[in-house]
A = this chain, B = another copy of it.
Amino acid sequence: MDIYEAVRERTSIRAYKADPVEEDKLERILDATRLAPSGKNGQPWTFIVVRDEEIRKKLVPACKGQEFVGQAPVVVVACGHEEMAYKKMGGYWNSLPLDIGIAIEHLMLAAVSEGLGTCWIGAFFEEQVREILGVPEGVKIVALTPVGYPAGEKIHRPRKSLDEIIMHEKWED
């Protein structure tokens, strides 16, 4: 699928069919994730691929009751290693959340091209997810996404216009 079409078609999918995700599709979208750039090429990430239904169901309350997290046949949990991240992002951040943002967006754009749906999950209780998946202390859990075939209508939320978000040459008052 054309990159622009993937960008236009991607949207947050909050209802999934029970149909399984083919392993070759899953491997391709994970490979697109793998190829993401990161600060100083640190690749400060581990992705946990959860297919087990019992574990997925446990993730629902940890994701503040978002039922579709348990409905999708696969959940990908993006974990981050701060010690592998670039420490001087603009002088005040490390690159970890930005790196993970890039990587999971690769996954999501690739998923669209495979007919699959995803949804950025930022609303979760980190300590609950940590306990369910056995993620060690010191490893950050940055975001999750279900992966599966969309059920129901796709909803595209409105975006600001280019005029609202672009300035030219300098900050405009």
Contact = CB atoms under 8 A, between A and B. Distances in A.
Stoichiometry, as copies per complex, reads: 2
B113 A4 contact: yes
Given A110-B4, A160-B43, A89 B122 contact: yes
B122 A90 contact: yes
A110 B7 contact: yes
B89 A49 contact: no
A8 interface: yes
| Majority secondary structure of chain A interface residues (helix, strand, loop or mixed) | mixed
* Tier of interface size on chain A: 35 or more
Nearest to A86: B122
B105 A47 contact: no
Contacts of A89: 97, 122, 142-143
Interface string A46-79: 1111111001000000000000000000000001
A44 to B, nearest CB: 10
Given A34-B162, A41-B157, A101 B109 contact: no
Contacts of A34: 159-162, 165
A52 to B, nearest CB: 5
A124 interface: yes
B4 A2 contact: no
A170 B37 contact: no
Interface in A89-142: 89-93, 95, 97-102, 105-106, 109-110, 112-113, 120, 122-127, 133-136, 139-142
A91 B129 CA distance: 12
